[in-house]
Chain A
Amino acid sequence: MITFVTGMIMILQFFVPATQTMGETIQEWFMIIASAAIFLGTINLIQVHMHKVRYKARNWKYSPVTLTGLAAMLVSGLFFGGIEQGGAFDYMFQQMVVPMGATMFSLLAFFVASAAFRAFRASNWRATLLLLSAFIVMLGRVPIGAMIWHKIPMVSEWIMQVPNLAGQRAVMIGAAMGGVATSLRMIFGIERSYLGGTD
């Protein structure tokens, strides 16, 4: 019932001006609930890792590191100058979180190289076409491509603006239609799996 009423108000606010204020109130509720979810997430994180430590679950040795990091950031942010520049929180963010985050993403380059070496095979004409397109786009996105042949960036841009655009548009339209269908199923109570059930 809550889902039905909320969903209907959010749809009607586009067409019935009288429901616009109600729609705005629901939007504010959403933001409050979403903020509260951050606290729930933190509590859940602590519970999960305390449980792992207590029962010596697999890879439990990483859990104290996670909990220590959480406590250090929380305490420094709340009690030692907040997030102002030069403070303890900012120092840990700039010197630890930033390089570690960038490192995690950088590892992708190594895995992509290894995966491409083992899996990117010209096994049929479609795979060969994909391979050639990938080569052109990879060269077109770096200066060395234009140095090899000045038209490579243009061909690369054409691949992005024509075949890629057609595919992306199809995916977007399909996903949007799916989103509308799923939303309607939830509003009318046909889809209830989000409540934790098995329907």
Chain B
Amino acid sequence: MATFIEKLGNTDRRVIFILMALAVVLPLALRMNLPILIDEGPSKDHYDFVEALPEGSRVLLSFDYDPSTMPELQPMAVALCQQLMTKNIKIVSMALWPMGVSLGNEALTAISDSLGREEYVDWVNLGYKTGGGVLIVRMGSDIHSVFPTDYNGYPIADMPIMDGINKLGDFDMIISLSAGDPGIPAWVMMAGDRYNIPIGGGCTAVSSPQFYPYLDTGQMVGFLGGLKGAADYETMVRAELDDAPPGTATPGMAAQSVAHLVIMLFIIIGNIAYLSEKKRKGGAK
């Protein structure tokens, strides 16, 4: 006969869904805040590299994601724009994913408006072009032929920000916020390795393990992994700025903490039930 713990092991999935929803919603509703401790790691490396860029440097920021991964990647975009624009670093943005254009524009205009930066002088959004890795290779020899105009149809040759920028090698750094393919791997292989440009970026937590080899070899200067990376970056950027608007990743870490604990609790209950059943069946033999 099944024991109580074994019955617990067969909990209806709807109960799991409800507990999971509560684990996410309650910390957000109660505005629970947990301290974000910044250790040495990929996020700190990325932050330090950008901080070391001199004023007036030119960075290519590629928004290679869509709304499905926005909760993790959009806070990174906002924090990066905040850091770059505060340091007076010129941002040339683009997207390898069609929906990345609008999401990137949202972050760029919000920070630009708050800091009084000017479009076409301090930043520009070139838009989306199909082609992935091939597009990057073409940009390596001539950006103007790939993007004759920005996403508004304005000729990039007439923009002050594009003075002296003709190919990828003219950038001091490339940052890709990537949710998959094309994304960081394409930038590392086609731009970083080929034209020797420092590559940074951010990705979802699920895909972050695959980018550790790039860090070890120095092919990436650092990266932000998932919501934790975004919260780390928000914390570091906000530490330098008194009037920086609050981000969305830091409050999300409390919800993620509780959600992780709930998942771990489910796994422990499932295993106790499994071992109990195994022992009972073993004993029955």
Tell me the chain B residues, 100-140 only, with Cβ under 8 Å from chain A: 101-103, 105-106, 109, 129-131, 134-135, 137-138
With A100-B67, A110-B20, A164-B212 as contacts: A120 and B270 at CB distance below 8 Å? yes
Task: List chain B residues, Cβ under 8 A from A138.
Answer: 260, 263-264
Tell me the chain B residues, 234-269 only, with Cβ under 8 Å from chain A: 253-254, 256-264, 266-267, 269
What is the minimal beta-carbon distance from B120 to any residue of chain A, in angstroms? 15
Task: List chain A residues, Cβ under 8 A from B70.
Answer: 98, 101-102
Partner of A116 from B21, B105, B210, B267 at Cβ < 8 Å: B267
Binding site for A on B (CB under 8 A): 11, 13, 16-17, 20-21, 24, 34-37, 39, 41, 66-71, 99, 101-103, 105-106, 109, 129-131, 134-135, 137-138, 141, 145-146, 151-152, 205, 208-210, 212-213, 215-216, 225-226, 228, 253-254, 256-264, 266-267, 269-271, 274-275
Tell me the chain A residues, 138-185 only, with Cβ under 8 Å from chain B: 138-139, 141-147, 153-154, 157, 160-161, 164-165, 168-169, 171-172
A121, B271: Cβ atoms closer than 8 Å: yes
Determine whether A113 belongs to the interface, using a CB cutoff of 8 Å to chain B. Answer: yes
B264, A168: Cβ atoms closer than 8 Å: no
Alpha-carbon separation in the docked complex, A98 to B175 (Å): 23
Task: List chain A residues, Cβ under 8 A from B102.
Answer: 83, 90, 93-94
Partner of B209 from A31, A112, A164 at Cβ < 8 Å: A164
Alpha-carbon separation in the docked complex, A153 to B39 (Å): 8
Task: List chain B residues, Cβ under 8 A from A143.
Answer: 34-37, 253-254, 257
B41, A157: Cβ atoms closer than 8 Å: yes
What is the minimal beta-carbon distance from B253 to any residue of chain A, in angstroms? 5
A35, B130: Cβ atoms closer than 8 Å: yes
B67, A97: Cβ atoms closer than 8 Å: yes
A169, B213: Cβ atoms closer than 8 Å: yes
Partner of A117 from B129, B228, B270 at Cβ < 8 Å: B270
B260, A144: Cβ atoms closer than 8 Å: yes
Binding site for B on A (CB under 8 A): 24, 27-28, 30-31, 34-35, 37-38, 83-85, 90, 93-94, 97-102, 104-106, 109-110, 112-114, 116-118, 120-123, 131, 135, 138-139, 141-147, 153-154, 157, 160-161, 164-165, 168-169, 171-172
With A30-B134, A31-B135, A93-B99 as contacts: A141 and B205 at CB distance below 8 Å? yes
Task: List chain A residues, Cβ under 8 A from B253.
Answer: 142-143
B69, A153: Cβ atoms closer than 8 Å: no
Task: List chain A residues, Cβ under 8 A from B129.
Answer: 31
Task: List chain B residues, Cβ under 8 A from A122.
Answer: 271, 274-275
A83, B151: Cβ atoms closer than 8 Å: yes
| Most chain A beta-carbon contacts within 10 A, residue among B71, B103, B271 | B271
Main secondary structure of the interface of A (DSSP, over half): helix
Task: List chain B residues, Cβ under 8 A from A30.
Answer: 131, 134
Task: List chain B residues, Cβ under 8 A from A85.
Answer: 105, 109
The 9 closest A-B pairs by CB, nearest first: A101-B67, A143-B34, A144-B257, A117-B266, A105-B68, A142-B257, A101-B68, A98-B67, A31-B131
Alpha-carbon separation in the docked complex, A161 to B39 (Å): 14
What is the minimal beta-carbon distance from A90 to any residue of chain B, in angstroms? 7
Task: List chain A residues, Cβ under 8 A from B16.
Answer: 110, 113-114, 117
Task: List chain B residues, Cβ under 8 A from A121.
Answer: 270-271, 274
Alpha-carbon separation in the docked complex, A149 to B63 (Å): 36
With A98-B67, A105-B71, A122-B271 as contacts: A27 and B138 at CB distance below 8 Å? yes
What is the minimal beta-carbon distance from B68 to any residue of chain A, in angstroms? 4
Which chain A residue shows the least CB distance to B153?
A: A82
A141, B228: Cβ atoms closer than 8 Å: yes
With A110-B17, A144-B257, A165-B216 as contacts: A154 and B271 at CB distance below 8 Å? no
Alpha-carbon separation in the docked complex, A112 to B216 (Å): 30
What is the minimal beta-carbon distance from B182 to any residue of chain A, in angstroms? 11
Task: List chain A residues, Cβ under 8 A from B69.
Answer: 105
Alpha-carbon separation in the docked complex, A117 to B71 (Å): 25
Alpha-carbon separation in the docked complex, A146 to B257 (Å): 11
Task: List chain A residues, Cβ under 8 A from B262.
Answer: 113
B35, A24: Cβ atoms closer than 8 Å: no
Task: List chain A residues, Cβ under 8 A from B212.
Answer: 160-161, 164-165, 168
Which chain A residue shows the least CB distance to B37?
A: A146
Which chain B residue shows the least CB distance to A157?
A: B41
Task: List chain B residues, Cβ under 8 A from A106.
Answer: 71
What is the minimal beta-carbon distance from A85 to any residue of chain B, in angstroms? 7
